[in-house]
Structures are given as C-alpha cells and as structure tokens.
Amino acid sequence: MAFNLSQKENMLLQDQKKHEELCVQKYQNYAQQAQDPQLKQLFDSLAQQEQQHLNTVNQLLSGQVPNLQQNQQSQSQNQGQYTQTTAQSTGTANKNDIGLCNDMLITEKYISSTYDNTIFECTNTNARQVLNHIQKEEQQHGEAIFNYLQSQGMYNVQ
C-alpha cells in the first residue's frame, strides 16, 4: 500500500532510520565484545531484529507500508529466542558485559520514546500500526536485556 509522506513525517522517519542503523551497529559490535555466549546470542538476535526495523523504516520512507503480518511472524520466532536465551543464562556475566547491557538498555529506552513522537505525527493509519509494532518490539528488546541482567543478579528491582 503506497502513501505520501509529509515533510515532517519524512524528517521523523529519517531520524528513526539513523536510530535503527545505530542499534544494528551497536548490537553487532557488542555481540563481538560480549564474554558470555548467551549474551552474544541475545545481541546477535537483537541485531537481526533491528535490521528488520531498519528495512521497515526504509520501506516507509519510500512511501510503502510493509505487510505487518509477515513482520509479526518473524517477531514471534525472535521472541521465543529471547526467552530461551535468558532462561539458559549461566550467571557468567562480567563487568564489561554488564556495561554493554546497561548501554543497550538506555539506548532501547530512548529509541522506544522517539517512536512515540513519530507515531503521533504519522497521518497514515497503517503506517502508524507498523511503527507501533516496532515500538513494541523495542520495548521487548529492553525487556530481554533486563531479564538477562536480572538473571545475572545485576538488576534487582527494589
């Protein structure tokens, strides 16, 4: 389904594109730096998901609304990986791994919040739904990192 972007929508989506590029880059770099094999796997999985987000934002920038059902199928598969990764955690995280997680948790919080503004400024209902779906996945990424940290005894909710 094609639609025309306003100047403001284009500007906001260009920002989201930069955010997604940064997320892909950070997750890929951090997967290489992580010491815990479970964290490497989690970061690799999240990098793939962020690449899907980047592809989706690029589709929106070209005036095309992606098929949300296809995205949901791959998201469901990835969500199973997040749960599996944190459930198998070995408790071997070191300070470097904790730092990587904290940086990505802060990044995910920020990215999720920027989607809020973009969603509200988007005039196409279907495009809004796609962006809302991405925002939900960003929140799930944060939850996966939180769960990993908590499994390591490094994020205790008071």
Taking alpha carbons only, the member of 16, 19, 24, 84 closest to residue 49 is: 24
- Output the pLDDT for position 91: 56
Predicted confidence (pLDDT) at residue 14 exceeds the cutoff of 80: yes
Q: Compute the distance between CA of residue 98 and CA of residue 76 in angstroms, rounded to an integer.
A: 26
Average pLDDT rounded to a whole number, residues 39-45: 97
Q: Which has more confidence, 158 or 67?
A: 67
- Output the pLDDT for position 87: 46
Q: Compute the distance between CA of residue 150 and CA of residue 122 in angstroms, rounded to an integer.
A: 36
Quick one: what percent of the chain has pLDDT higher than 70? Answer: 82
- pLDDT band at residue 86 using 50, 70 and 90 as cut-offs: very low
CB count within 10 Å of CB 28 equals 16
Taking alpha carbons only, the member of 111, 143, 145 closest to residue 36 is: 145
Averaged pLDDT score across all residues of the chain: 87
- Output the pLDDT for position 74: 52
Average pLDDT rounded to a whole number, residues 58-84: 68
| Residues 7-151, CATH architecture | Up-down Bundle (1.20)
